[in-house]
Chain A
Amino acid sequence: MNSNKTKALLIAVGMVALLEVLGPPAFSQALQIDADRQFSFAESLFSEQKYPSAVFEYQRFIHFFENDPRAEKAMFRIGESHFQAGKPNEAIQSFSELINRFPNTTLAADAFFQISRCHMQRRDPVSAEAVMHNLISISDDPAVIDRAHHRLGWIQIENGQWDKAKSYFDRISPENRALYRLDDLGRELERADALEMKDPTTAGVLSVVPGGGFLYCERYRDALVAFLLNGALIWAAVDSFDNEQYALGALISFVEFGFYAGNIHGAVSAAHKYNRAKARGFIQELKQNARIQVSAKDAGLGLSFRYVF
């Protein structure tokens, strides 16, 4: 028994000695990730447009290396990633956190513009405008203020408010007018007044004769249907009352009320749709003609934007 125990002990000691000689197993070696590797990894995910993963890795970078000079850039990238992933609310929150943590930096100013852009994506031009006004009130940098006025002008253009747009562009300092090609833009905006629009009130008044409003709005088939249908129903109602079929006449009159009022509503709506389509077409053309492309790069570049609302 004692010899068996001794043998087992000797075998165990021998195995331990053998392991020491061979070295530790691979899985016991810890993987060292430093700030450079973590940030680089996050950047590669961002450039590959893997935005949810990029967000996670930038957050990991900020968590472990919060005092690294690139923490601000990482926060900005998180916002950009959320925006690119179609999550404007999360993007706004991220950019807001950046502004709170790093106020008065160049990236903080860029964050304001990104927040405005997020609001436009959410179809909330009022909030987009408000953000720009906030930036103008707190910024001392004339270049940033000019850029904000330029953005405000384009927000008004998107709203079809040409005169308001012109008033914002007029506030841009003379030294930046060439940069924003404001002379060209001004000439293009002059054409807005000459856009052929339809008057909804006129369309409504002309619809007193069924189909008249649709005809005014260049909807010829709708005009014909409205005229024939309303004409037939009016004739049927009158004929019913003439034949003392009052219940039938009342029923037809009720139906005719809907179609007659519908003819007026449809014509007024058609005029508004016509005007909206004209304005949108003009805005698209304006963007094409006045396109200014500058790629958004690192802090300090300034005045880098691309108008893609």
Chain B
Amino acid sequence: MNPSCSAYCVEAIEKHGSVAGWIMCCDRLMRCGRDEVAIAPSIWINGEKRCNDPVSANDFWWEDSHELK
């Protein structure tokens, strides 16, 4: 997955604070490498195909739930 789980957790905590960031981190750890791989878009990094699952792909609905982003 891209970014890695640790990088995802750091970004989530920096962006949303320790509590919400910790919750997002746990969510990511449960999803890592499973159904998300088949659903999320792919990205090529250093010749390797990875599932792209950044923080922005998991909090887009926080701001305005009725707009398609």
Which one of A37-45, A257-265, A288-296 is at the B interface? A257-265
Residue of A nearest to B26 (CB): A262
Tally the A-B contacts, defined by beta carbons under 8 Å.
70
Q: Which listed residue, A266, A268, A277, touches B31 by the CB 8 Å rule?
A: A266
Contacts of B65 in A (CB 8 A): 200, 272
Q: Which of B24, B35, B57, B68 contacts A159 (CB 8 A)?
A: B68
A261, B23: Cβ atoms closer than 8 Å: yes
On whether A262 and B24 interact (CB within 8 A), knowing A219-B35, A226-B30, the answer reads yes
Please judge, given known A-B contacts A200-B61, A269-B61, whether A160 and B22 are in contact too, CB under 8 Å. Answer: no
In this complex, how many residues of chain A approach chain B with their Cβ under 8 Å: the count is 28
Binary interface encoding of chain B residues 9-35 relative to chain A, with 1 for a CB under 8 A from any of its CBs, else 0: 000000000000011111111110011
Other-chain contact of B68, A220, A221, A258, A280 (Cβ < 8 Å): A280
- Please indicate the chain B residues that have their CB under 8 angstroms from the CB of A268 in the complex: 61
Given contacts A221-B34, A222-B30, A222-B31, contact A159 B23 (CB under 8 A): no
Contact A276 B69 (CB under 8 A): yes
**Given that A160-B68, A269-B58, A276-B68 are contacting pairs, would A222 and B24 also be in contact in the complex, using a CB cutoff of 8 Å?**
no
Report whether A266 and B30 are in contact in the complex, using a CB–CB cutoff of 8 Å.
yes
Please classify the interface of chain A as helix (H, G, I), strand (E, B), loop, or mixed, using the class held by over half of its residues: helix
Q: Which residues of chain A from 231 to 284 have a CB within 8 Å of any chain B CB?
A: 258-259, 261-263, 265-266, 268-269, 272-273, 276-277, 279-280
Contact A158 B68 (CB under 8 A): yes
Chain A residues near B57 (CB-CB < 8 A): 273
Task: Give chain B residues whose Cβ lies under 8 Å from the Cβ of A276.
Answer: 60, 68-69
B27→A225 contact, CB < 8 A? no
**Further contacts, 14 of them, CB under 8 A, given A221-B34, A225-B30, A262-B24:** A159-B68, A161-B67, A219-B34, A219-B39, A220-B35, A262-B28, A262-B30, A263-B27, A263-B30, A266-B27, A269-B27, A269-B58, A272-B60, A276-B60
15 CB-based A-B contacts, threshold 8 Å: A161-B67, A200-B61, A222-B31, A222-B35, A225-B34, A229-B30, A261-B23, A262-B24, A265-B23, A265-B24, A269-B61, A272-B61, A272-B65, A273-B39, A279-B68
Nearest first, the 7 closest Cβ-Cβ pairs linking A and B are A262-B26, A160-B68, A262-B27, A258-B26, A266-B27, A272-B61, A221-B34
